Amino acid sequence: MNILLLGYGKMGKIIGEIAESRGHHITAKINIDNREELDELDANNIDVAIEFSQPDAAFENISWAISRGIPVVAGTTGWLEKKPFIETLTMEKDAAFFYASNFSIGVNIFFKVNRFLASLMKEQGAYQVSLEEIHHTEKKDAPSGTAITLAEGILQEISKLKEWKLSEGMSIPEQFLPITSKRIDPAPGTHIVRYSSEIDDIELSHTAHSRKGFAVGAVLVAEWIKNKKGVLSMDDFLSF
């Protein structure tokens, strides 16, 4: 396949290496320094775009590709207030758009276990649930997209919780799900779901050892998305 990399930071470089090791060709590597080169590219020579850039660039990058009928696999977080516009554009252009807050297969299993645990805990009023996420200091958005996905899974099961809130060291009312975000190098990503009571604590955690799991997942999805249409997710890819 001919792959366009939209974003060429640490993740983009790992994705490029893995894609080439699997026999794919990188058509172009676009970042903040050469974004003007996008309009010089021939969309007919691009099979899929993989978007791992920054929150302030993601919407424009994805819009550019979708408008030209290029399937997009996106992993940038922190821009999701504009995601409904991308979904509408995808349908208008009869294109393909795939978004995941995390492409790791292990994390997506973790999402399912998280929701199952929440379903077991929803009647256990003695427990207060909270989330903690730890990432490297270069991560711009907080909380992480993975933490937000975990929070959404909990909120779908525990009706007494109204929404999640970033705690930032402050006390959060019981009707909200608190998320604590920490930025510590070189952590690639740790997420902890904690149910606490006076008697005991229950913890569910996932720790990434490197970015490779995210990158491999993104390339596998890019291979899978060819000839597909619509707004897609890891549930579609993994057929959960």
Q: Residue 185: how many CB atoms within 10 A of its CB?
A: 9
Of 24, 135, 191, 206, which one is the catalytic site residue?
135
Checking 12-20 for CB contacts under 8 A at 24+ apart, the result is 12/50, 12/52, 12/53, 14/211, 14/212, 14/215, 15/50, 15/52, 15/215, 15/218, 15/219, 18/212, 18/215, 18/216, 18/219, 19/50, 19/219, 19/222
- Has 139 been annotated as catalytic? yes
**Rounded CA separation 100/26 (Å):** 21
206 is catalytic: no
Catalytic residue chosen out of the listed positions 13, 93, 136, 139: 139
- List the one residue out of 40, 39, 41 whose CA is nearest residue 60: 39
Would you mind telling me the total number of residues written for the chain in this entry?
A: 240
- Give me the active site residues, please: 135, 139
